[in-house]
């Protein structure tokens, strides 16, 4: 297949299933809940459903797989990506892994409702794993049913693609398919279950390997499988490092540390809160993976978490994500220790994470402020102060940084400009603008003066700065209330808003004047509504 060819029939997809071909399989063929040892995966077929119906798909991800629009809109596509049909060349399986959940070792976890269909090699030689989420039980489902509801599936589908277009490293989403069946869920685990529409998302990534895949081997003392898995990972996903060896293991871990730091910097840049940063939700490729009770920081509150399960301890709150990523990397290092047998070089790699994140974070904040470079003597204080100022009164993070680009630095000095004029571009970011008075107003203005002086020192034009800032400060993010509005309509059989949001979020940095309604602050009705303020892991 050359680079111009398009798959018009799903049977034309070229499968190259490296994972199942090279790694040890579970010897038990039957699908029942159990502990799986000495294996990296269990073969399992998706559960067939009643009436597959395509809700939405990502054109960009279809292009990655060389799929034409007509193919994606076919009945066969809906059947395959709901789990009703297994194509020739597919080799469906669920991964075995463990993990630390909320800081505690949880033992075997695994793909409890994710089934990997196979790995496609496209016309450009790229390798993409296809995974269905919500396609039925696996040996790792424990007490769950392996299914997913439309509510959580809409959120996963939209956020996967929104994050990609924001420039955040992420797994992708090809399709969202209704199953035509009802699934019982107790959204807040409070004894009030209800039936919801079932759905399946097809997730796409080069690999879905996560820290927990390696942790389970180390925890069981299965060093042979651990080494086999590490060697496979390096040969398939990190081949640029060379053939596996002790030195290459260390280079690989250091690269994982750097990629993780880059991912967290991007999360902090756009105000994303993952909500469940367990080690089994950490990709070795540095991709955002497993979109559960995530949220977007609307009011700038570093202590906010979207996860009801985390409401007391707030372990996974926005401001703690960099530290949690490091903690998770330490657990990953512990799993790799038997292959290294020396803590010092592993610690050096962890230090790389700290340094890389700090440097990346400073660069990121400089870019959000439109500065040409980071100058420690002035910018450390400038950044620390804005992070405090944003918390003085309820401030929408996304709108604040987007509107900050409108501040003029050329022309008159700050002392000669009316204070109301200085504040005017930012007033739209405040949920209660009437509170921007007194000491709060004074402190905000003091920061604006400092910021404006810093800009004047650089002598760059406002036009150029504005263009730079608008490339890193999005206008559109997937606010929880927008997702909930789309879910409400979808549950009534109207998928227009799901597809409208998908289109808007493809260009999050563009103005899109006809989509202003999707760029506004969280409305008052969404402050406490389920799905808009806090979410549970129920999905």
Strands in 194-205's sheet, in edge-to-edge order, are: 41-43, 93-95, 114-121, 127-133, 194-205, 172-185, 53-57
Position 389 in a domain: yes
Residue 495 CA to residue 505 CA, distance in Å, equals: 16
Nearest-5° Cα angle at 366, 364 to 372: 120
Beta bridge partners of 395: 430
Is the domain of 56 the same as that of 71? Answer: yes
Closest CA to 482 of 510, 505, 506, 501: 501
Q: Tokens for 22, please give them.
A: 């090279």
Position 450 in a domain: yes
Residue 118 CA to residue 14 CA, distance in Å, equals: 10
- Tell me, what's the pLDDT at 416? 65
Is the domain of 37 the same as that of 149? Answer: yes
Residue 127 CA to residue 226 CA, distance in Å, equals: 23
Residue 340 CA to residue 275 CA, distance in Å, equals: 32
213: left (phi over 0), alpha (psi -120 to 50) or beta: alpha
Is the domain of 129 the same as that of 38? Answer: yes
Position 306 in a domain: no
Closest CA to 184 of 176, 192, 174: 192
Q: Tokens for 203, please give them.
A: 């997730």
- Tell me, what's the pLDDT at 192? 78
Is the domain of 207 the same as that of 117? Answer: yes
Position 301 in a domain: no
Of 212, 237, 270, which marks where a domain is finished? 212
Taking each helix axis from N to C terminus, what angle separates 343-368 and 462-469, rounded to the nearest 10 degrees?
130
Position 412 in a domain: yes
Is the domain of 23 the same as that of 130? Answer: yes
Position 473 in a domain: no
Position 472 in a domain: no
Residue 372 CA to residue 210 CA, distance in Å, equals: 36
Residue 406 CA to residue 92 CA, distance in Å, equals: 52
Among the residues of 100-222, which ranges form H helices? Answer: 150-166, 211-219
Residue 81 CA to residue 133 CA, distance in Å, equals: 10
Is the domain of 113 the same as that of 207? Answer: yes
Is the domain of 133 the same as that of 193? Answer: yes
Helices (H) and strands (E) counted in the chain, each on its own, are: 17, 11
Inter-residue contact 531 to 487 (CB < 8 Å): yes
- Tell me, what's the pLDDT at 186? 80
Enclosing domain of residue 77: 10-212
Q: Looking at residue 66, what DSSP letter applies?
A: T
Closest CA to 55 of 158, 204, 172: 158
- Tell me, what's the pLDDT at 8? 73
Position 538 in a domain: no
54: helix, strand or coil: strand
Is the domain of 56 the same as that of 188? Answer: yes
> DSSP of 246-274, one letter per residue?
HHHHHHHHHHHHHHHHHHHHHHHHHTEE-
Is the domain of 125 the same as that of 101? Answer: yes
Of 441, 459, 477, which marks where a domain is finished? 459
Is the domain of 355 the same as that of 382? Answer: no
- Tell me, what's the pLDDT at 188? 62
User: What residues are annotated to the active site?
Assistant: 280
CA-to-CA dists, residue 148 to 135, 151, 191, 287, 384, angstroms: 8, 8, 19, 22, 42
Nearest-5° Cα angle at 532, 368 to 203: 75
- Tell me, what's the pLDDT at 530? 80
Looking at the structure of the chain, the number of domains it has is 3
Residue 254 CA to residue 237 CA, distance in Å, equals: 14
Q: Tokens for 404, please give them.
A: 């900050």
Inter-residue contact 204 to 172 (CB < 8 Å): yes
Inter-residue contact 153 to 134 (CB < 8 Å): yes
- Tell me, what's the pLDDT at 415? 63
195: helix, strand or coil: strand
138: helix, strand or coil: coil
- Tell me, what's the pLDDT at 414? 57
One digit per residue, the tens of pLDDT, for the chain of length 539 reads 444 478 778 999 999 999 999 999 999 999 999 999 999 999 999 999 999 999 999 999 999 999 999 999 999 999 999 999 999 999 999 999 999 999 999 999 999 999 999 999 999 999 999 999 999 999 999 999 999 999 999 999 999 999 999 999 999 999 999 999 999 988 766 677 899 999 999 999 999 999 999 999 999 999 999 999 999 999 999 999 999 999 999 999 999 999 999 999 999 999 999 999 999 999 999 999 999 999 999 999 999 999 989 989 999 999 999 999 999 999 999 999 999 999 999 999 999 999 999 999 999 999 999 999 999 999 999 999 999 999 999 999 999 999 999 999 877 665 667 889 899 999 999 999 999 999 999 999 999 999 999 999 888 899 999 999 999 999 999 999 999 999 999 999 999 999 999 999 999 999 999 999 999 999 999 988 888 876 766 55
Tell me the longest C-alpha to C-alpha distance in the chain.
78
Is the domain of 53 the same as that of 187? Answer: yes
Is the domain of 222 the same as that of 156? Answer: no
Closest CA to 393 of 426, 358, 349: 426
């Amino acid at each position: 297949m050359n680079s111009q060819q398009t798959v018009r029939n799903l049977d034309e997809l070229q499968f190259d299933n490296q994972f199942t071909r090279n790694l040890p399989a579970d010897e038990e063929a039957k699908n029942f809940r159990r502990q799986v040892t000495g294996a990296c995966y269990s073969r399992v077929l998706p559960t067939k459903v009643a009436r597959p119906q395509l809700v939405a798909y990502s054109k960009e991800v279809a292009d990655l797989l060389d799929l034409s629009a007509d193919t994606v809109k076919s009945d066969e596509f809906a059947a395959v990506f709901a789990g009703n049909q297994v194509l020739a060349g597919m080799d469906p399986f669920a991964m075995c892994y463990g993990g630390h959940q909320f800081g505690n070792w949880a033992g075997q976890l695994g793909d409890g409702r994710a089934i990997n269909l196979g790995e496609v090699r496209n016309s450009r030689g790229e390798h993409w794993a296809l995974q269905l989420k919500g396609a039925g039980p696996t040996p790792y489902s424990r007490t769950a049913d392996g299914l997913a509801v439309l509510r959580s599936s809409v959120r996963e589908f939209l956020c996967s693609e929104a994050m990609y277009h924001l420039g955040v490293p992420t797994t992708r989403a090809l399709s969202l398919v209704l199953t035509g069946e009802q699934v019982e869920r107790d959204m807040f685990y409070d004894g009030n279950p209800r039936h919801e529409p079932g759905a399946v998302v097809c997730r796409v990534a080069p690999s879905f390997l996560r820290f927990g895949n390696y942790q389970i081997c180390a925890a069981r003392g299965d060093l042979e499988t651990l080494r086999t898995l590490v060697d496979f990972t390096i040969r398939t996903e990190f081949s640029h490092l060379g053939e596996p060896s002790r030195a290459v293991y260390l280079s690989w871990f250091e690269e994982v540390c750097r990629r993780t730091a880059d991912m967290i910097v991007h999360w902090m840049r756009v105000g994303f809160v993952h909500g469940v940063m367990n080690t089994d939700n950490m990709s070795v490729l540095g991709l955002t993976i497993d979109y559960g009770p995530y949220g977007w920081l609307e009011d700038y509150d570093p202590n906010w978490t979207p996860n009801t399960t985390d409401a007391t301890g707030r372990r996974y709150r926005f401001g703690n994500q960099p530290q949690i990523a490091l903690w998770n990397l330490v657990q990953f290092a512990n799993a790799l220790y038997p292959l290294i047998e020396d803590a010092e070089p592993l610690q050096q790699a962890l230090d790389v994470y700290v340094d890389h994140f700090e440097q990346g974070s400073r660069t990121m904040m400089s870019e959000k402020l439109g500065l040409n470079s980071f100058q420690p003597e002035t910018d450390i204080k400038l950044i620390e102060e804005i992070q405090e100022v944003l918390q003085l009164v309820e401030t929408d993070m996304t709108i604040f940084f987007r509107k900050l680009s409108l501040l003029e630095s050329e022309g008159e000095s700050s002392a000669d400009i009316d204070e109301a004029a200085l504040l005017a571009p930012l007033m739209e970011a405040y949920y209660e603008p009437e509170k921007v008075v007194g000491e709060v107003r004074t402190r905000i203005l003091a920061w604006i003066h400092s910021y404006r002086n810093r800009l004047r020192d650089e002598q760059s034009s406002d036009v150029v700065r504005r263009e730079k800032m608008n490339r890193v400060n999005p206008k559109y993010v997937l606010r929880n209330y927008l997702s909930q509005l789309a879910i409400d309509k979808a549950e009534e059989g109207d998928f227009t808003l799901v597809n409208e949001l998908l289109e808007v979020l493809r260009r999050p940095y563009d103005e899109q004047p006809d989509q202003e309604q999707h760029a506004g602050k969280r409305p008052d009705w969404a402050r406490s509504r389920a799905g808009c303020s806090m979410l549970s892991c129920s999905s």
